[in-house]
Amino acid sequence: MGEEAPEYLLNNLELAACDSESTGCRTATIVGNKTYVVEGSEDGSKSWINVKIFDKLTRSWVFPTVLGIKPVQQKGHSALLLKNEQLLIVKMDSTLDDCIWFLEVDSPFVKEQKEILGTEVVAWSKGVIGNAPKPIVISGPSGVGKGTLINKLMKEFPSRCGFSVSHTTRAPREKELDGVHYHFTERSIMEKDIRDGKFLEFASVHGNLYGTSIEAVEAVTDSGKRCILDIDVQGAKSVRASSLDAIFIFITPPSFEELEKRLRARGTETEEQVQKRLRNARAELDEAKSPGLFDHILVNDDLESCYENLKKLLASDETADPLCQPSVKILKAHVSHIESKADHKTLIHCSASGTNAATHSLLMLDMSSLKGGAPGRTRGLDVYALESLGDGLNGI
Ligand SMILES: Nc1nc2c(ncn2[C@@H]2O[C@H](COP(=O)(O)OP(=O)(O)O)[C@@H](O)[C@H]2O)c(=O)[nH]1
Ligand SMILES: Nc1ncnc2c1ncn2[C@@H]1O[C@H](COP(=O)(O)OP(=O)(O)O)[C@@H](O)[C@H]1O
């Protein structure tokens, strides 16, 4: 289980049945009755790492549904099976921020997607060094003041908070900008992107489609900022069920009358839309009471005191998850071999050049604190240098 398929086996695997040309290094990893072949292939001007599966029982190739953002192929890669659930893929000749990837082949997320889609499924998740602070999911009925509170946060902490820009099929309001407030999109395009697994969650709200793309969240968290999501209660439920480890906050109005007053005073909706939003608000206020859904409920009566309470909640989590730096800085790694050791340690044999001009020949990946995973990034990786061919690594 888990060993690389010998070359003779690969040659006999009816490789001819596959029409993709291999441009880079190819690995084959056996998981049960399936051999996962991971290889580079041209797709327009770019070269991606693609996946196909040889099914030993039917002796045929299966081209799985591939979820997540695919890695760009460099000069090849090495693969290692972890817990029969995922392949650790270390790309050659890559910078550290793009070198470590996970291909989930039988993780809980992939199992669930296989059931939903009724096909063979694999899912990519990029490995990220360290931890960004937990994302914040903010929900609440239309007109309660979510946007106002989030705007205040973004203004006061532009370098620490980033907004997850959702996609929606609703028309832009007068002052809304495409790509800033929302990605305004056509329903057919959004539906296709949902089918292609590009969304962390989506929901039909007040008659329009809204959704958070995986890319929207990752763009913010990769920059080390805390990601703020403004999504409805159905979306919050989906995120709760996903691998995204977030803090869930529900904003509630001091009274229903006040909510109605704010919604009308905003003047962005027609009377019919206001009525629809008010009807939905009652259901949302009820649903927010579902046990285990929201971590905190904040009443937005006086704006300034609600904002202060929101900041206190965020500050209380900040020390729990500081942004950690890797133990080594690597500019490029040329991987020759990876192997698993006890205690969640993985050794990467490589030549790697670092910022201090030293050359590391053996790196160790500590994966004991991995978090997340498909459909998002895999966070919490740490990398140590074990051996040095140059100088500058004393004390590691
Ligand atoms: N599930 C989900 N809901 C979203 C998303 N983006 C916005 N929403 C929710 O959609 C609802 C309507 O948003 P919008 O049209 O901007 O109106 P507003 O809430 O009255 O400002 C709000 O409850 C938002 O929280 C998203 O990506 N996913
Ligand atoms: N605490 C508050 N007191 C009075 N008005 C508020 C308060 N918070 C927000 N508002 C106003 O209520 C309206 C709706 O707020 P908004 O942030 O657009 O809500 P949401 O994003 O939840 O739909 C806006 O006109 C905003 O200025």
For residues 53 and 37, what is the distance between their CA atoms, to the nearest angstrom?
Answer: 6
Evaluate the CA torsion angle 308, 309, 311, 312 in order and state its sign: positive
Ligand 1 nearest-atom number relative to CA 141: 23
The CA–CA distances, whole Å, from 210 to 61, 200, 231, 324 equal: 37, 11, 8, 33
The sign of the dihedral angle between the CA atoms of 24, 29, 35, 36 is negative
11: which 2 tokens? Answer: 């040659």
pLDDT at 1 > cutoff 90: no
Q: Please give the Cα distance from 36 to 22 (Å, whole number).
A: 14
Q: Is the C-beta atom of 137 inside 6 A of ligand 1?
A: no
Is any atom of ligand 1 closer than 6 Å to the C-beta of 203? yes
52 bridge partner residues: 37
Per-residue pLDDT at 264 exceeds 90: yes
Q: What is the pLDDT of residue 328?
A: 60
Beta partners for residue 340, in sequence order: 346
pLDDT higher than threshold 70 for residue 356:
no
**Is the pLDDT reported for residue 394 higher than 60?**
no
pLDDT at 334: 67
pLDDT given for residue 333 in this prediction:
65
| CA-wise closest residue to 89 among 98, 77, 97 | 77
- Pocket of ligand 2 from Cβ distances under 6 Å: 140, 142-148, 262, 265-266, 300, 303, 306
Yes or no: say if 21 and 30 are a contact pair by the CB < 8 Å rule: no
Q: Which of 182, 208, 232, 278 to mutate to test the pocket of ligand 1 (most atoms within 8 A of CB)?
A: 232
pLDDT of residue 382: 82
361 or 237: which leads in pLDDT: 237
**Rounded Cα–Cα distance for residues 51 and 37 (Å):** 6
pLDDT in tens, 316-342: 876 444 434 555 656 566 666 677 766
Distance CA 312, CA 234 (A): 26
Higher per-residue pLDDT: 11 or 25: 25
Of the candidates 373, 369, 363, which has an alpha carbon nearest to the alpha carbon of residue 393?
363
Q: What is the pLDDT of residue 173?
A: 93
Reported confidence tier of residue 20, pLDDT bands at 50, 70, 90: very low
Which pTM value belongs to this model? 0.76
CA angle 5, 7, 13 (to 5 degrees): 75
- DSSP, res 72: B
CB-count burial class (<10 Å; 0-12, 13-18, 19+) for 226 = buried
Sheet holding 296-299, edge to edge: 161-163, 226-230, 136-139, 247-252, 296-299
The pLDDT tens digits of the residues spanning 45-90 come to 668 889 999 999 999 999 999 998 889 876 788 888 988 999 999 8
| Residue nearest atom 5 in ligand 1 by C-alpha distance | 231
Mean pLDDT in residue range 124-149: 91
Tokens of 214: 């995986």
Peptide bond preceding 71 in cis form (omega within 30 of 0): no
Which pLDDT score, from 0 to 100, does residue 24 have? Answer: 47
**Closest residue to atom 19 of ligand 1, CA basis:** 142
Q: Which amino acid, residue 44?
A: G
Contacts 24+ apart (CB under 8 A), 57-61: 57/33, 59/14, 60/14, 60/17, 61/13, 61/14, 61/17, 61/18
Half-sphere exposure of 35 (CA within 13 A, CB side): 24
User: Residues with catalytic annotation?
Assistant: 173, 266, 277
- Please tell me the predicted confidence (pLDDT) of residue 30: 94
Which value, to the nearest 10 degrees, does the dihedral of the CA atoms of residues 201, 189, 165, 108 take? 30
**DSSP characters for 297-310?**
EEE-SSHHHHHHHH
pLDDT value at residue 242? 87
| Ligand closest to the CA atom of residue 200 | 1
Of 394, 393, 396, residue with least CA distance to 354:
393
* CB of 142 sitting under 6 A from ligand 1: yes
CA 53 to chain centre: 24
Ligand closest to 283 (CA) is 1
Q: What per-residue confidence (pLDDT) applies to 99? A: 87
Residue with CA closest to ligand 1 atom 25 = 231
pLDDT above 70 (res 309): yes
Residue 231 in contact with ligand 1 by CB distance below 6 A: yes
- pLDDT (mean) for 213-217: 93
pLDDT at 144 over 70: yes
User: Nearest bound ligand to CA 208?
Assistant: 1
